[in-house]
Structure 1
Amino acid sequence: MTQQLLVPMDDSALARSALEHALTAFDEVAVTVVHVVDDLEVAYGGGAPGVADGEPDFFADVRTIADEHDATVETAVIEGAPADAIVEHVRTEPVDGIVMGSEGRSGVSRVLLGSVAEAVARRSPVPVTIVPADDRGTGES
């Protein structure tokens, strides 16, 4: 039976590592990569950075990573506060698990907004695999 995995994605090395982990660590998996456009960024920043024609620029990298693993991925863009939007997506779509990086933001914004991975792990109705940052080039440390 094919597992349906959700991989939240931003434009970070750690998010790419989470995608690679999802594509290699799980057998018979269908992956949906979702990017959350934060309502606060849109309201205060004048628009979502790096999003053209409704799709983030880095989705091209997502497709390249999938091709390297002889896999296909679905992509989606959703809006809202990141943790809330991810958990809501899981509740309304057929998802068996989430694979995500331990952090995406850095610096002050991460401290002010809190850990999205932690919030998702606490509230998710499905299992969450959190890929940690490390010093081997697979994530930010």
Structure 2
Amino acid sequence: MYDRILVPTDGSEYAEAAAERAFDLAETTDAAVFVVCVVEEGPLGSVRLPGDGASAAEAFAERAETFVGRLEKRARERGLEVETEIREGVPVRELLAYADEVGAAVAVMGSRGRGGVSRMMLGSVTDGVTREGDIDVLVVGEKGATA
């Protein structure tokens, strides 16, 4: 079935729930997991934050290490083979490129369930991966439900 599972994270509760489902699937299929976080490029990334003066992109990159490290630890505690990656760029593009690089057959992703105008204005990384990728996508929604 699946021998390589992509586990994207942004540190949200939805990504955390998706990771747990991905780890369950990896245990069942004896698959390796590939945890990845993408630090998004863009005009807001250069904005300096109050306090230490770090840019928004720098601050998120530091948090990305925490997000990825936390999932790596949980995967290892479950006895799973895990690799991690932090990338910079356009999330959908970077996730699909990484999935291709590691040969992932499925991505297990969280979704906030945005709809209507919010989705049209903000877009959805999960939707983008589903539409643009040549990879199966297991979507874990609110309360861990799957679609």
Q: TM-score, normalised by structure 2?
A: 0.75
**Corresponding residue to 1:113 among 110, 113, 122:** 122
Decide whether the 8 Å contact of 1:15 with 1:104 is kept in 2. no
Superposition CA RMSD, Å? 2.9
- Taking only the aligned residue pairs, the percentage that are identical comes to 32
Cα distance between partner residues in 2 of 1:110 and 1:68: 36
Decide whether the 8 Å contact of 1:101 with 1:131 is kept in 2. yes
1:40-61 deviation digits (Å, cap 9, x = unpaired): 1533462233433x96222332
Q: By how many angstroms is 1:64 displaced?
A: 3.2
The 4+ residue runs of structure 1 with deviation greater than 3 A are: 108-112
Runs (5+) with no aligned partner, structure 1? none
The one-letter amino acid paired with 2:6 is L
Larger radius of gyration: 2
- Match status 1:65 vs 2:74: yes
The answer for the alignment partner of 1:43 in structure 2 is: 46
The answer for the alignment partner of 1:16 in structure 2 is: 16
**1:1-141 alignment, distance < 5 Å:** 3-26=3-26, 27-40=29-42, 41-44=44-47, 46=55, 47-52=57-62, 56-103=65-112, 112-134=121-143, 138=144
Counterparts in 2 of 1:28 and 1:48: CA distance versus 1, 3 Å: same
Cα distance between partner residues in 1 of 2:79 and 2:118: 36
Query: Of Structure 1 and Structure 2, which has the larger fraction of its residues in helix?
Result: 2
**Number of residue pairs matched?**
133
The one-letter amino acid paired with 2:122 is L
The one-letter amino acid paired with 2:93 is D
Q: TM-score, normalised by structure 1?
A: 0.78
